[in-house]
Structure 1
């Protein structure tokens, strides 16, 4: 399996490799952080069910949680990528966190990818426009496609 990252690529030895990686990108000027996490979807589930399950696991760690409904959307330049999004704000470890999340099925059938756009302050109109632009620009690499 050829594994690609921004800095390069490498070949993994044969085996049952799963991508459980996480990328954290931060814009110091705006205070926005974008976290991209990946993980397997258990047998008998799908990316939506796994996203809901992860939320159920995290709820006890959040106080004063306020969240939108989970909404099915399509994203990408051609609006061809099925996704689920939710917005929330809550307290965790004494800090109020505001976040938008988007869950998609990554290119491998049983893999969930979650994009979390967050700030330690309420989002501005400009932040929300950046989030919309990010979702519009999403382009998933198809399995076997070179990066």
Structure 2
């Protein structure tokens, strides 16, 4: 069961960027410059990208509130320590999920997680290129 990773992979815009955009971001030392040169082909590569580009999510708010430095560090540690060998064994996405924070930070997107009857919005304060809407319950994400 890799529904979490399948859902993220399916919803992230993997279109290669133009060379102009790559040069623009390279000058700003944009974190995902390598991503745009080598687009992940599958969920394993996407997960490895998250681990490689892991960082504190200083620009992401959760339901309109800035998270604390401690929460950012805990999220960072969660991603850092995630065992990629367990990807196909399922991932328990939380309502305060480190990978969804990181998705919003790295891809500059708004992530809306509809968990049963509760909605969690991860929003990048700097820029939201597009929205990713995911739905999940206690055992599945789509």
TM-score, L = length of structure 1 = 0.26
- Flag the structure with more relative contact order, 1 or 2, with Cα contacts below 8 A and sequence separation at least 6: 2
Write 1 or 2 for the structure with the bigger share of strand: 1
Q: TM-score with structure 2 length normalisation?
A: 0.26
Larger radius of gyration: 1
